[in-house]
Amino acid sequence: MKKVKNIAILTSGGDAPGMNSCIYSVFQTCALNGINLYGVRRGYSGLIEGDIVKLKYDDVRDINNLGGSFLGTSRCKEFETPEGRQSAMQNLQKQKIDCLIAIGGDGTFTGLIEFAKIYPNVIGIPGTIDNDMGYTERTIGFDTAVNNAVDAIDIIKQTMKANRRISVIETMGRHCGMIALHSATAGNASIVVTSERNKTEQEIKELVVKQLKRGNPAPTIVIAEKLLDVKKLAENLENELGVEARGIVLGYIQRGGSPTVSDRITAMRFAVESVHSALSQQFGFVLGIRANKIIREPLNSFKSYQPYFDAELFDEFCARNKI
């Protein structure tokens, strides 16, 4: 059995707070086991271009608390082609890389499935703020994104209450409503709309009217991205109800900032497990968490899981707000 001497790591797709924490912990674990860690800049794009550098302690010592990805990330169309993947494999072979660790979400893992057909020594780590990977209960970045969203909602509610205005707030989470649901619940919003529990504009208007009649002068509506135009919805509510309303898109504020304790610990656990797996010559899977335990899911089966949505929490939210 060939001993693992060199591991490469990359981040791909949308960045997520905690990616740097994961890279840092992978480096630490590699160093403790006599393994060289190489960083691939700009995800699969850098892999195809051969932008691979040997990491030193000075490169990573100050990144654990930083958001984003110090290696950079990208969405790479060329990696979807056989020619692109062939170039990527050749570049890994030139550096004598024994294992590739990829941190990312659905798109990253989809690319990894195809790449594993020609370079089988791969391991995937879930890093996406949407928490939309159904096989795992937790992904790197989700907790930080929710905390960022709640901080913003708390601030918005203060000024909206002072001015007796309706707020219509868009969070990220196009295909999974967990950011919207968790931030609405923790931020004590009045109404939440997700792809899993969608509502028409008329239904939202009726719920706002109920809130106003109950004595809430400044209802807060949280909507997952791309479901409705929140600024247009706010304008329509103001025109029809005669109450000032504002539409706010939180956007990339949810992606940035220092990762929370939860995300740092999750990143560290994934990092340690990935290196230990490589040392034991186990490849071709993605890591996840179930019942607070690290699990391995075969790479080619992760797509069989639907994104998780906490229906029980949604029902509790509705009951609390009498929706």
Q: Using the 8-state DSSP alphabet, how is residue 84 labeled?
A: H
CA 35 from centre of chain: 28
Q: What per-residue confidence (pLDDT) applies to 300?
A: 87
Q: Is the pLDDT score of 232 beyond 70?
A: yes
Q: What's the average model confidence in pLDDT over 30-39?
A: 98
Q: What per-residue confidence (pLDDT) applies to 2?
A: 77
Q: What per-residue confidence (pLDDT) applies to 205?
A: 97
Strand residues in 225-284 grouped as ranges (E):
245-249
Domains, the chain, in order of start with CATH, read 6-129+261-290 (3.40.50.450), 145-253+311-320 (3.40.50.460)
Q: What are phi and psi of 168, to 5 degrees?
A: -120, 110
Identify the H or E element spanning 160. Answer: helix 142-163
Q: What per-residue confidence (pLDDT) applies to 323?
A: 82
Give the residue numbers annotated as catalytic, written as ranges: 130
Average pLDDT, the chain: 96
Q: Is 43 left (phi over 0), alpha (psi -120 to 50) or beta?
A: left
The span from the CA of 200 to the CA of 260, in Å, is: 35
Q: Beta strand pairing status for 6-11 and 99-104? A: parallel
The span from the CA of 299 to the CA of 308, in Å, is: 18
Question: pLDDT > 70: what percent of the chain?
Answer: 100
| pLDDT band at residue 1 using 50, 70 and 90 as cut-offs | low
Q: What's the average model confidence in pLDDT over 93-100?
A: 97
Whether residue 20 contacts residue 79, with contact meaning beta carbons closer than 8 Å, is answered with no
* 38-80 pLDDT per residue, tens: 999 999 999 999 999 999 999 999 999 999 999 999 999 999 9
Q: What per-residue confidence (pLDDT) applies to 313?
A: 96
Q: Is the pLDDT score of 308 beyond 90?
A: no
The CA-CA-CA angle for residues 150, 156, 161, to 5°, reads 125
Q: What's the average model confidence in pLDDT over 116-131?
A: 97
